[in-house]
Amino acid sequence: MREVSAQVSAEKSKAERRHLHHEADVVIIGGGVVGCAIAVALGRQGRSVILLERSLKEPDRIVGELLQPGGCEALRKLGMEDCLEGIDAATVKGYQVIYHGAGVHIPYPPNAEQNTKENAEGRAFHHGRFIQKLREAVKRTPNVTIFETTATDLVRNGWTGQVLGVEAQTQGQKDYYFGHLTVVADGYASKFRKGNLQNQPIVKSKFFALELIDADMPNPGHGHVVISDNPPVLLYQIGSHETRALIDIPENLPSASVKNGGVKGHLRNVVIHDLPKSVQPSFEKALDNGSLRSMPNSFLPPTTNKVPGLLIVGDALNMRHPLTGGGMTVAFNDAVLLAELLSPENVPHFGDTGLILKQLSTFHWRRKHTSSVINILAMALYALFAANDPQLKVLQLGCFRYFCRGGPYVDEPVGLLAGIIHHPLILFYHFFAVAFYSIWILLSNSKASHLPIAILQSFAVFYKACVVIFPFIFAELRR
């Protein structure tokens, strides 16, 4: 009984320190996907947490709309699965890949880790609604206080360089928040990478987005990937009536040049003809009505957090092409892993900055089981799906045919993509299986007289496959 009351009074004094002195064990910058998840996880472990968010209004964005089965599973591990309820989320049972008009069905396999025969499911939804649910979960969590404020700078110990917290602006007034650990979770356009991360994001294309109403999808309950001579298009339902269309447009795409009517011209003249007939009317309507929005597609390989007192997570730390919808899945898996590595059993006191740094180094390597797979897969698949040279086209065709074979040829690749298979070697195996299958198709389809050329071509294809995947693998192996 006395212990309970002592705990209550300790919690009270911690709450007082958060409100009065703006001080906690952890200060998290960003009340988005990963920020909320970490706030809930650490708050429930009894840590004193301050969560800073620029605007607590429902965000309206075109990212973070698809949660892979592996992400749903991580959310469940965090005890936050109820955040998917009551937001009119659409169930995602797998993919429908449409290659030059021909379709292949790629359902999610059952999650082998759960000993179930039921196929895994993902969820797609309006980003803003989900975020509000996450924030509600934070508000219900003990030991966490949310402040609506804009983080402007990190506070550092001028002697040791340790990060001590955050300078902020609250309604135009200077403000400050201090903690043993500062978590930077402010998303893709993070203000705090410079000087703290070795890598900076690389952007080579953009997703342009439309919201289709009551689109007639060829395979409802599935994400649709449209592959053609043009860069890929994604279609997935995000509500009872709404379907998101994401159109990849690389930098300097000729058909999207100003002369050709810009992006809208490209969509109207080129993209619409690649889409399934049934979708075209709602697409056209959305083009006529809605405003076109866009997001950069960034690549940012992860590196170890080495600045004492600082942890960078989420899109601020690591990004991959959103083609596979892996971002939130990585984020929630990271939150699960961090909750374990930073638990009171492993780190009794957050003031032990050296121990936290050690745990963050462990974090960097252990997260690879999930994140590396999703990162490499996203980048490699994008290279194939947006194929713009003959070798890549060979690989693209090979990939499609490989999927058409069904069984393990799709279950494992889509299991990797779904974040329910956590083995980088399986990805490596399938990638080169696709490469060799592509070469076999190339050779078997060529006339006997063209065989010597085809053999030469196959070396080029193999070389291309290596050039595509190895840089992404090496990027993952960096400290």
Partner 1 sequence: MAAAVDASFTSPAANADMGSSVTNSSGIVGTILEGMNGWTIAITLFAMLVIYDQLKYIYNKGTIAGPSFKIPFMGPFLQSVNPKMEEYIAKWNSGALSCVSVFHKFVVIASTRDMARKVFNSPSFVKPCVVDIAHKLLRPTNWVFMDGKAHVEYRKGLNGLFTRKALELYLPGQEEVYDQYFARFVELSRENAGKPAPFMAEFREAMCAVSCRTFVGHYMPDEAIKKVADDYYMITAALELVNFPVILPFTKPWYGKKAADMVLDEFAKCAAKSKVRMAAGGDVTCILDGWVKSMIESKIYREKVEKGIEVPSEEKPSMVLRDFTDFEISQTLFTFLFASQDATSSACTWLFQVMADRPEVLDKVREENLAVRNGDRSKRFDMDMLDRMAYTRAVVKEILRYRPPVIMVPYIAKQDFPVTENYTVPKGSMVIPSVYPALHDPEVYPEPDTFDPERWITGDAEKQAKNWLVFGTGPHYCLGQTYAQLNLMAMIGKASIELDWQHQITPLSEKIKVFATIFPQDDCPLVFSKRP
- Cα dihedral 325, 328, 333, 334 sign: positive
Select 11 or 81, whichever has its Cβ closest to partner 1. 11
How far is Cα 425 from Cα 431, in angstroms, rounded to an integer?
10
How far is Cα 434 from Cα 431, in angstroms, rounded to an integer?
5
Q: How far is CA 424 from CA 155, 187, 194, 369, 429, in A?
A: 38, 25, 30, 6, 9
Residues that bind partner 1 (CB under 8 A): 17, 20-21, 23, 155-160, 162, 164-165, 167, 173-176, 178, 180, 349, 351
Smallest separation, CB 149 to partner 1 (Å): 11
Select 164 or 381, whichever has its Cβ closest to partner 1. 164
Select 144 or 155, whichever has its Cβ closest to partner 1. 155
Select 6 or 112, whichever has its Cβ closest to partner 1. 6
Helix segments in 253-352, DSSP class H: 262-266, 272-274, 280-289, 327-341
Select 91 or 160, whichever has its Cβ closest to partner 1. 160
DSSP code for 88 = -
Q: Which of 402, 394, 396 is nearest to 433 (CA)?
A: 402
Smallest separation, CB 152 to partner 1 (Å): 10
- Cα dihedral 56, 61, 64, 66 sign: positive
Smallest separation, CB 342 to partner 1 (Å): 16
DSSP code for 246 = E
Select 176 or 472, whichever has its Cβ closest to partner 1. 176
Q: Are 90 and 123 in contact (CB under 8 A)?
A: yes
Select 52 or 227, whichever has its Cβ closest to partner 1. 52
How far is Cα 414 from Cα 234, in angstroms, rounded to an integer?
16
Token reading at 395: 């690989």
Smallest separation, CB 471 to partner 1 (Å): 40
Smallest separation, CB 13 to partner 1 (Å): 8
Select 17 or 76, whichever has its Cβ closest to partner 1. 17
Smallest separation, CB 54 to partner 1 (Å): 17
Run of H or E including 250: strand 242-250
Smallest separation, CB 24 to partner 1 (Å): 9
Smallest separation, CB 154 to partner 1 (Å): 10
Smallest separation, CB 348 to partner 1 (Å): 10
Q: Which of 47, 53, 51 is nearest to 28 (CA)?
A: 51
Select 262 or 348, whichever has its Cβ closest to partner 1. 348
Q: How far is CA 472 from CA 188, 216, 380, 467, 476, in A?
A: 19, 37, 8, 9, 6
Q: Are 201 and 212 in contact (CB under 8 A)?
A: no
> Angle at Cα 419 formed by Cα 301 and Cα 421, nearest 5°?
110
